[in-house]
Every structure is written in structure tokens, then in C-alpha cells.
Structure 1
Amino acid sequence: MKKIIGPMLLLFLILSACSGNKDTADPKKSDEAAPVNAETPINVPLINTEGDKVGEAELSENSKGVAIHVRVEGLQPGKRAIHLHETGKCAPPDFKSAGAHFNPGHKEHGFHNPKGYHEGDLPNLEVAADGKVDAVLKTADVTLERGKPNSLLDKDGSALVIHAGEDDYVTDPAGNAGDRIVCGEIVKEGN
């Protein structure tokens, strides 16, 4: 019996030592912490009608939609319309190169329009007395995932445009928002 217990005890100790000290994290917990969209946030430089950089936006996505963190300076205080446009091209001074609003659903403009709204419609920005904006806008109507009909990252990208006036949320096609005064190209390498 002693001859069997000795080797069995040794084998038990070796197996315990091999399986007992795991320094790696539980893979299930790591998977739960992973973001919904594995792509890194998209940084978008924002330019004015002279082509000068006046700010930036960062777009990221999670299970609730796309968040757009906008930081701009040098604007007139008050409410300013901001929209997502269909083409990722910002040619100053008028930014007409950005095309119309992002609207794959072919609706009319405005949150209060019974026939609306565009997927590119966003809430107005509030510009502070010092001409600065630091705001986060959220939308579940678009995605950063390629290949989806509502993706901002289609073959020609899209644009983020700030207007001179405020969006009335009703008037088609752009809410009487006025001229385009700031633009940023939403593109990712490989577009």
C-alpha cells in the first residue's frame, strides 16, 4: 500500500501545481467587456469656409448607436444646425460637395415633420457666448459598420456639417438652417 500511496501523492501534487495557478483573466469576462463595434473611434477634423481647422469631432459606436463628440470654436453664439451629409467631401467655401443630407430612407427633413426625418438629422448645437461648442450628440439611425444601408462609411463616406442658423425641425430639405459654415469628412482608410 505504501508503494502505491507515495507515487499517487506525487502525481496529485504535480497535477495540482500545473492546473492551480492561472494568471490569465477569465476569457468570458474579457468578452463581455469588449465593445460592440471593434473599430476605433473616427476622428474628423472640422474646417471653416476658409479651409482653416476650427475643431474636431469624434465618432464612436456602441449598442445604443453612434455618439458624435463635437468640439468647435469661432462660431457665433446661439443655436446652430448640424447634420450628417451624404458625401465625405468638404470643399470650401460653400461645402456643396458634401451633397444633401444623409437620407438612405428617402424621407423628408425634420424631427417634427410627419413625413420625416432624415437619418442625418441631428439636434441643434448650442454655441456658448465665447463661440465654443463641446457637445455629444447621439443617434441610433446610423452606423459605422460597413456594408449596412445606413452606414456613414459607404464607398464615398459622409460629412458632418454645421450651418449658420438653427434647424426648425420641419422645413424640407434642410430646416431653414442657412449656409454651411463648418464641415468635416467622415471617412476611414479604405473608403
Structure 2
Amino acid sequence: MRFAIITLASGAALLAGCQHDRMATRDAATSGRSAVALLRTAANADAGRATATETEGGLRVTLDARALPPGTHGAHIHMTGRCDAPDFTTAGGHWNPTTRQHGTMNPQGPHSGDLPNLIVGTDGRGTIGVTIPGGTMDGLLDADGAAMIVHANPDDMKTDPSGNSGGRIACGVFQPA
């Protein structure tokens, strides 16, 4: 009986600790400021949304795309919060406050705005989530803002300045949430 009580008490303490850890993790992830970019195509069709949330140690960025062509697409945060159709070049180059070169496979990279490739299924949907170490909301939402861009082609993760990812097919300007 004594063993059962000790085991039960130990199990309850362990569960309480796990619950506290989950709550602390959730609170840390959701306590930061956030911004949302609603993506549109050049034809002004809805193409999904990107969310950036300030967390301990960086920015957590999620991209939920829809109604895009199936395949692999480069996805980047660009340095200017403008999305003028048809080519979205007003978004400028990649967000690069650390003045690095492009790509996670480039020894002098990556830009802060370099995200993993977005894989879009036959249903037109794709999702990525990544934390940008050292990224801040103040840096993202500086005087000229920032934009999320989805490109036509895959990013090769090494070629400066844009990974040969082709034209810009969707764009959204980050706005404080």
C-alpha cells in the first residue's frame, strides 16, 4: 500500500511538472509581439498568410499558403513592406540586417529572410514554420516594413542574392497583429 501511494504521488508530481513545462513553453511562444502578412497573387487572389511572432531568441515565422501552383517554391522575407503587382519588386531584396549572403548552404550565409522551401501539394496548400535566430519584431517592422514573398521556383539555398528562385508569385506586407 505504501509503495502504491508513493508511486501515485510521484506520478502526480511528474504530470504536474509536465503540465507546467507545457504551459511555460506555450506562454513563452505566445507572449511576444506578432505581425501578419496576408498573401495575394498578382491577380489579387488570396494566397494564404504568414505570421511572425517574437519569441525568446528570435522570430517564429509560419507560412500557410493556399491556391498556389503545386511544386517547390522559394519563400523569403523581403526588406520592404510593399507588394505592388504584377511583379512585387517593390518588396526589395531579402531581409538581411546581418549583411550576410544568401542561403543556408552558403558559407557566408544566410540572410535573416531566407526560409526553407515551401512545398505546395496538388491541393494548392503548403506550410512551413521556422525560427529566425536573433530576429526581432523591431527589425521586421522597421520604418519601411517587410514583406513575405513566395517565388515561382525552388531556392537552391546557396546562390546569392536570391537562390535562383525565380519570379515572385505571391506577396504580403507584415502588419502588427
- Same-fold call, TM > 0.5? yes
Cα distance in structure 1, aligned partners of 2:67 and 2:173: 19
Q: Return the structure number with greater relative CO, CA threshold 8 A, min gap 6.
A: 2
**Ranges of 4+ aligned residues in structure 1 off by more than 4 Å:** 36-40
- Name the structure 2 match of 1:183: 171
Q: Which runs of 5+ in 1 are unaligned?
A: 1-28
Gaps of 5+ in 2: 1-19
SS of the residue 1:97 aligns to: helix
One of 151, 154, 157 as aligned partner of 1:166: 154
Counterpart code for 2:160: D
Post-superposition Cα deviations, 1:57-108, rounded to whole Å, max 9, x if no partner, equal 2221211422222222121222111001110111111000100111122221
Larger of the two Rg values belongs to structure: 1
Q: Is the Cα–Cα contact under 8 Å of residues 41 and 59 in structure 1 kept in the other structure?
A: yes
- The residue correspondences of 1:91-130 to structure 2 (distance < 5 A) are 91-130=84-123
C-alpha displacement at 1:41, in angstroms?
2.7
**Where does residue 135 of structure 1 map in the other structure?**
128
**1:159 Cα deviation from its structure 2 partner:** 0.7
Q: State the match for 1:68 in structure 2.
A: 61
Could you tell me which residue of structure 1 aligns to residue 50 of structure 2?
57
Percent identity of paired positions between Structure 1 and Structure 2:
38
Match of 1:152 in 2: 140
Deviation at 1:53, TM superposition (A): 2.0
Q: Write the letter of the residue equivalent to 1:180.
A: R
CA distance in 1 between counterparts of 2:60 and 2:36 reads 12
Hey, what does 1:81 align to over in structure 2?
74
TM normalised by structure 1 equals 0.73
**Equivalent pair of 1:43/1:58 in contact (CA under 8 Å):** yes
Whether the 8 Å CA contact 2:36–2:175 is kept in 1: the answer is: no
How far has the Cα of 1:40 moved from its partner? Answer: 4.3
Distance 2:68 2:99 in 1: 31
- CA 1:35 to 1:179, structure 2 compared with 1: closer, same or farther past 3 Å? same
CA 1:136–1:37 in structure 2 vs 1: closer, same or farther (change >3 Å)?
closer
How much has 1:128 moved relative to structure 2?
1.2
> Residue 156 of structure 1 aligns to which amino acid in structure 2?
D
Deviation at 1:37, TM superposition (A): 7.7
Distance 1:141 1:126 in 2: 25
Work out the number of aligned pairs and report it: 154
Structure in which a larger fraction of residues adopt helix: 2
- Letter paired with 1:186: F
Q: TM-score, normalised by structure 2?
A: 0.78
Sort the Cα spacing of 1:188 and 1:92 in 2 relative to 1 into closer, same or farther, 3 A: same
